[in-house]
Structure 1
Amino acid sequence: MRVFASRAPLWVFVALVLAAATACTTTVEGTPVRQQTDPASLEVGNYQITPRVVGNAKTDKQSRVRESQRLSDYVALPFESDPGYTFECSDGVRPHVVTNHKGLGDLLINDTFDDVAHDLRGGWVNTWCSGSDADDLHRKLSLAVLELPDADRAATVGPALEHDDFTYNTDNRAVTLAKYPDTKAHWRPNVASIGAWTVHDRYVVFIKIVDELAATPDLTDLTGRTERMLDVALPLLDKFQPTPADKFEHMPLDPDGILGRTLPTNPEEPWRPDPDGAYTGRGSIQSLDTGDLDYLTIGDIDLVGYGDALVFHSRTGAAARALWDKRNPATTLTENERAIAPPPGMTGDIGCFAHLVNGQPGYKQCTFHVDRYNVQAVALNQTELYQKTAAEYVLVTSR
């Protein structure tokens, strides 16, 4: 690896240069412009360093994945109804995007989903648990939202899926939600869990709660938790604007260009369960170890690139700085993390650390802030991490 001398990024004030050329006392309005980063000053390996144009969806699957990502920003997170859900969990790694039955994993045990919802436009599922990974037992809430072509199709698909789910086990009993009487729900009286299907306009909302902490099954508690989740979930969906039917086939995959400045995941070595994508809000929570939405509000985030790195763009420089101050690794390291040096040639707002597994370094992460961006990169190999981080710096500072 080539090693270059560290140097801070330079700022060029075009207006001041013009003023100096005319008269010392003349003031010309202008905007500070960051000098183009010289890739030769950083070791980027073979990583992409030129912003790319992602283009439009070329297949029906790409369109449905993209619609799922758009939808995700309006799918409620369990902790929004109850802060007791503290971490994202699942029985094994599975994606959030739902384009067929595989996206729902073990939430559905019947095999009729693909036939019933054959015209699914997209969907998203969030599963969160109480406590921590170290606990043996949890209270788990899964929320899945399925988008159909129109309200009539949702009104057909929702009850059909609930019927197949209900009849799969002969011990299931129907449950009525007082606040949402049109919701179809069921449970087994000897099991502390409930499944509820709600049709809301063109959406089918499926909530499943499993309470491993309950001494005995408590239906009142389970229905109350379900209703509180619907209280948050349904108003959010009203804010979503589905892609019009005549624009669905070739919709843009990166309309704001954030994905073009995000390193693409190597298709031969995918380390994330979900495909690369662009987000504007809640959907990006999948990538953060957090049980709140502070990063959205503090950082005033408007764009997130999700790929082989995570690129967060703020609406203002002040908000990006505030987000960095909150998540600066220098002040947030835990006992299971150890600081490591930043990549050669990179200074300023950057922090890197290794996650410790039984006291030994495991995967490593670098986080940096520049202009209106906060970026995270992760790798097992430190050299790879450094190259990836440097490449992302070039990408987000390129004009």
Structure 2
Amino acid sequence: MSDEELAESTRGMIAGWDGSGERRKQPSLGRQVNLSLLRFPDTAQAETALHRLADRQSENLPGDSVQLPKFPQARAKWSVSKKYLDAWLTHDAMALYVHVEDPLSEPAELAPLIDFAQKYFQKQIEMLASYTPTPVDQLGSLPLDVDGILSRTLPLEEKDRIRKDYDNSMVLPVRAALHFENLPGLTKAAFDDAGVDFVSFSSARLFRARDADSATRLLAAFADQDSDGYRKIDSPPNMPGARCFDNKDTKSTSARYPPVCYFAYDRYVARVTGHNLQELYQRTAAQYKLLVH
């Protein structure tokens, strides 16, 4: 839908979050999920937006209405031909949405997808119990750069922006940062061990650990992850402590394994990527200078 139609359908929305996951590393080789959570001023506005969005989606992607036994108040739609389930639910002033599909199962099975959707709703509602919404009039006062971490992160170049007028640089608390990791389960264990509290995102990623020793362990954990897709390469000149990798498949252009360097400085670990090795080494050296100086 257009930006205007989306704005009309979600009138009153204060904030929204989304996440996604794959059953396997290779997309479309197993179950896939997309989750969304929208915050509204009150339950009535959340309910109204939910029905607008669900109605609009049904127009685009028809399916059969089904019921979730544990959440009879939810709206759910099943497409046997596309092998996916969509489900919507309001909880207080929140609208919850889950899209789950299983492209490989033959014949298409609805029951496992209903089970997953119900587990998602149960877990999401459980997690919302500890969520305290920031009052709307205080949103503008939230810090954009926690403790100056973003100012020490390599800035985003215009060619790497989603849009020329949009810079999505940000500082995230550690739990939110997991949404941007390819292997969130392994990364969470590494974050917990290293005491990571904030992650800065821009042209590079900067992870703040508990102390220097913790940063060293986090560096080792990052270097071990995804080793099946990477091959070790030389470090940038005069940076022997950096650990750098490139795609094992020299003919591949997969965005999953871009050339990457990791290094630790004080309590920080930097993850720097580039489009080629020359750019990677230049960016890594520039990120190091930002941390040192």
Q: TM-score, normalized by length of structure 2?
A: 0.84
Distance 1:191 1:392, change over 3 A: closer
Q: 2:123 aligns with which of 223, 232, 247?
A: 232
Q: What residue in structure 2 maps to residue 394 of structure 1? A: 289
Cα drift, residue 196 of structure 1: 0.6
Q: 1:290 aligns with which of 183, 195, 217?
A: 183
CA contact (8 A) 1:262 1:309 kept: yes
Helix, strand or coil at the partner of 2:71: coil
Unaligned runs of 5+ in 1: 1-99, 103-110
1:269 and 2:164 equivalent?
Answer: no
Alignment partners' CA distance in 2, 1:356 and 1:340: 10
1:154 and 2:46 equivalent?
Answer: yes
Alignment partners' CA distance in 2, 1:203 and 1:320: 37
Alignment partners' CA distance in 2, 1:301 and 1:317: 11
Distance 1:112 1:238, change over 3 A: farther
Helix, strand or coil at the partner of 1:386: helix
Highest CA radius of gyration, 1 or 2?
A: 1
1:200 and 2:91 equivalent?
Answer: yes
Q: 1:342 aligns with which of 231, 235, 252?
A: 235
Q: 2:19 aligns with which of 123, 126, 137?
A: 126
2:132 is matched by which residue type in structure 1? Q
Structure (1/2) with the larger helix percentage: 2
Distance 1:115 1:261, change over 3 A: same
Q: 1:210 aligns with which of 86, 101, 125?
A: 101
CA contact (8 A) 1:265 1:307 kept: yes
Q: 1:324 aligns with which of 219, 222, 230?
A: 219
1:163 and 2:58 equivalent?
Answer: no
1:184 and 2:79 equivalent?
Answer: no
Q: 1:221 aligns with which of 112, 122, 142?
A: 112
- Report percent identity of matched pairs: 26
Distance 1:182 1:319, change over 3 A: farther
Cα drift, residue 340 of structure 1: 2.3
Q: What residue in structure 2 maps to residue 34 of structure 1? A: none
CA contact (8 A) 1:123 1:146 kept: yes
Unaligned runs of 5+ in 2: none
Distance 1:246 1:338, change over 3 A: same
Cα drift, residue 291 of structure 1: 4.2
Cα drift, residue 224 of structure 1: 0.2
Aligned residues: 286
Cα drift, residue 351 of structure 1: 0.5
Alignment partners' CA distance in 2, 1:369 and 1:306: 16
Alignment partners' CA distance in 2, 1:281 and 1:204: 24
1:197 is matched by which residue type in structure 2? W
1:127-159 CA distance string (max 9 Å, x none): 2222232x6643211111122233332132123
For the aligned residue pairs, the C-alpha RMSD in angstroms reads 2.9
1:185-220 CA distance string (max 9 Å, x none): 121355421111111222211101111122123222
Q: 1:357 aligns with which of 232, 246, 249?
A: 249
1:376 is matched by which residue type in structure 2? R
Q: What residue in structure 1 maps to residue 276 of structure 2? A: 381
Alignment partners' CA distance in 1, 2:281 and 2:103: 42
Cα drift, residue 184 of structure 1: 1.6
- The structure, 1 or 2, with the larger RCO (C-alpha pairs under 8 Å, 6+ apart) is 1
